[in-house]
Amino acid sequence: MLKKKNYCRFDLMIFRRLFLLSIVVFGAGRMPAQTGFRFGPTGMFLSSRSSVITTLPDRFYFRYKSGFGGGLAVQYGFTPGFTLGSGISYTYKGYRVFNDSNSQGTLLRHNMSNLELPVNMIFRIRMNTSSNLRGILGATLNYNMSKNGHEETNSNGSFIIREEIVNQVYPMANLGVEIANENKSGNVFCFGIHYKQAFTQNTHLKVYDSKTDTDPLFLLGYRGSYIGVSFTYLFNPKNFKRDEEIFY
- For residue 139, which phi and psi values (nearest 5 degrees)? -145, 155
The rounded distance, in Å, linking the Cα atoms of 156 and 104 is 7
Tell me, what CATH number does 206's domain have?
A: 2.40.160.20
What is the tally of structural domains in the chain? 1
Cβ neighbourhood burial of 114 (10 Å; 0-12, 13-18, 19+): buried
Q: How confident is the model at residue 1, as a pLDDT?
A: 41
The alpha carbon torsion through 10, 11, 12, 14 (nearest 10 deg) reads 90
Q: How confident is the model at residue 25, as a pLDDT?
A: 47
| DSSP 3-state of 44 | strand
Helix %, strand %, coil % for the chain, to 5?
10, 60, 30
Q: How confident is the model at residue 212, as a pLDDT?
A: 78
Q: Is residue 245 situated within a structural domain?
A: no
Identify the DSSP state of 235.
Answer: B
Q: Is residue 247 situated within a structural domain?
A: no
In terms of DSSP H, where are the helices of 78-195?
none
Q: Is residue 219 situated within a structural domain?
A: yes
Find the domain containing 24 and state its range. 2-238
Q: Is residue 131 situated within a structural domain?
A: yes
**What residue ranges of the chain have pLDDT lower than 70?**
1-34, 101-105, 242-248
Q: Is residue 246 situated within a structural domain?
A: no
